[in-house]
Amino acid sequence: MKPVGILGGMVPQTTVFVLQKLLSASQAQDGNNHVPLILNHNPQLPPRVTLVDGDDDREPMPALMSMAQDLERAGAQALAMPNVEAHHYSLAVSHATTLPFLDIIELSAAQIQNQGAKQIGLLAAPTCRTFGVFDAIFDARGLIPVWLKDEAGMSNLIAAAKSGKQSAELEQNLQAITDDLLDQGAEHVLVANTELSPLSEAVLNNTPATDSLTCLCDAVIAFAAS
């Protein structure tokens, strides 16, 4: 199987969750058949919001490019970055090496398009809207983003989810925000924040929804086995 390089550590709990999802989804019968991964775990990466704040000295793009290059030198044959917000820098990361880049937004948009939905409610960090992270890929596929009007509510939910502790209150808040997106006209919901993926598994069973992290993990497994 082909080794895949993971740019991780931006939210350490999410990186661990990704590894757990890959372990569970690989359906390996023994240890030799699991997906080979090379992990660059860098929790010291500058925050992705620094570009919005105008702090160019702490801009994370050079560090992300260096992480990708380190993974290529270590033997990775493809790259994956389980952080949606950091995909503002996906073009730079993908051009930093000769490796294929498994783009979590492109993979998610392709799956949603195949289901026929157009108006897509985004469970995503408000900075993704500021960065225009989804704009080009959604435009190319004819998808229309529906953003939550209560940006503070979304930010608070994500901040609470980063603790890694699931609770009935968090699940209720996620359901309420999802209902608000549907009320705003969303036909389908994209879980586009990887900190929310563990919560969404328990909450969104009865909602037309796609989890971006699941799309990425499926692509990692498929590439490794190809």
Q: Distance from CA of residue 48 to its chain's centroid?
A: 13
Percent of the chain at pLDDT > 90 equals 65
> Stretch 58-83: mean pLDDT, rounded?
94
Q: Distance between CA 144 and CA 79 in Å, rounded?
A: 27
Q: Distance between CA 71 and CA 166 in Å, rounded?
A: 32
> What DSSP state is assigned to residue 186?
-
- Band of pLDDT at residue 202, cut at 50, 70 and 90: confident
In this model, does residue 58 exceed pLDDT 80?
A: no
pLDDT per residue as tens digits for the range 112-161: 999 999 999 999 999 999 889 999 999 999 999 999 998 999 999 998 88
In this model, does residue 181 exceed pLDDT 80?
A: yes
In this model, does residue 101 exceed pLDDT 70?
A: yes
Q: Distance from CA of residue 98 to its chain's centroid?
A: 22
In this model, does residue 51 exceed pLDDT 60?
A: no
Separation in Å, CA 30 to CA 2, 19, 21, 23, 33: 17, 16, 16, 11, 6
Radius of gyration of the chain (CA): 17
Domains in the chain, CATH or no CATH each: 4-103+215-225 (3.40.50.1860), 104-212 (3.40.50.1860)
CA angle 183, 184, 186 (to 5 degrees): 90
In this model, does residue 108 exceed pLDDT 60?
A: yes
